Amino acid sequence: MAAFKTLDDLGDVTGKVALVRVDLNLPMKGGSATDVTRVEAVKPTILELSKKGAKVLLLAHFGRPGGQRSSVLSTSMVTGDVEGVLGKELMFIPEVAGPVVEQSIGILRNGDIGLLDNTRFWPGEEANDPNFAQAIAAHGDFFVNDAFSAAHRAHATTEGITHFLPSYAGRAMEAELKALDAALGNPEAPVAAVVGGAKVSTKLAVLENLVGRVQHLIIGGGMANTFLAARGVNVGKSLCEHDLTDQASKIMDTADHAGCTVHLPYDVVVSKEFAANPASLRTCNVHEVAEDEMILDIGASAAEALADVLKTCRTLVWNGPLGAFETEPFDAATMSLARHVAALTQEGSLISVAGGGDTVAALAQAGVTGDVTYISTAGGAFLEWMEGKELPGVAALTANNG
């Protein structure tokens, strides 16, 4: 991984203006946030800069206003939630550049924190307009990016601004990049990847990248059915993208040539209806699925075999559940594997990096959130990283780091 600078590389910042890109795109209900995980993630960076005497200006987007001002999409909506997490008062600044920002900086004392308005109110943000980026940069002495979840977008406040200011990774960004490097950039082999979820179509690029980089590829969720169908298994009424079986076969051939073992379930949990604890529930061999049954989870024997595979591995990257985990009892395999992963991580034999909304939810459901090495809350950025793509916001930090 190319070098990037962190807060450790900053000299004395007393009285200097830090422009800090954060992710405050919080889920809201009735005017307040239902989940403040994203604020918790950036809290260490904000408070560290504040404690060192910088004037901290937060840059964030909120929703998709499409380059137009909208009172309900102003970042002022989250001011109270952010203050609650930081334990500090914020000054809300209804602009991102210009005289209002200049005046506000004059009012802020060293260590104070200001929140600028939604960067996406201006078309220049998503267009990555250099003039817009320069106008924002004019107010700062240095730039800190602590929003990995927005790093796959080449926007003015993730990529453009780095051309005008010395740029650093915040603490959350630094932790994310180090974890991702340990998982796929420069991992300890053997490496396993668990890729689950409903559809192969959304993860084709991920699978194509992984087969050349990992020794074990474990496929679960609805997408496993497409791979089983590609191997000639009759999957009954299961969710399956029959039009993608050729691509699934190609991925398995590529894996073969690359020395990567693809693991598909050999026993599965099936039912005639998708409902909690249905009467028609049974576990069978994959070759015994009836025409009117659907595969909704992998069986206990297959889950145990996967746990044995992980015992031989040093590194795991996980994206997507093994079954329809939101509905009992189709969460059994995902829960069981999550607990095995947690145990192996805790005993020091496995580095485990997980990401994506469903995966984060599944680990929380299994009660092992704190027991894996690293959990990425970034959705799109995590997937693009798994696809092997260069993320503009990350590339900019390594290219323009002061």
Active site residues: 38, 199, 357, 380
The Cα–Cα gap between 289 and 292 comes to 8
Residue 190 tokens read as 């053997």
Taking alpha carbons only, the member of 94, 95, 90, 96 closest to residue 108 is: 90
Radius of gyration of the chain from its Cα atoms, rounded to whole angstroms: 23
Quick count: other Cβ atoms within 10 Å of Cβ 357?
A: 12
DSSP 380-392: HHHHHHHTTPPPH
Q: Virtual CA dihedral for 87, 89, 92, 93, nearest 10 degrees?
A: -110
DSSP bridge pairs for 376: 355
DSSP one-letter code for 372? S
Taking alpha carbons only, the member of 267, 230, 15 closest to residue 142 is: 15
For 148, 153, 392, the CA distances from 380, given in Å and listed in that order, are: 10, 10, 13
The Cα–Cα gap between 221 and 207 comes to 14
Taking alpha carbons only, the member of 265, 274, 269 closest to residue 305 is: 265
The Cα–Cα gap between 290 and 49 comes to 61
DSSP 163-217: GTS-EEE-HHHHHHHHHHIIIIISPPSSEEEEE-SS-STTTHHHHHHHTTT-SEE
Q: Dihedrals φ, ψ of 79, to 5°?
A: -55, -50
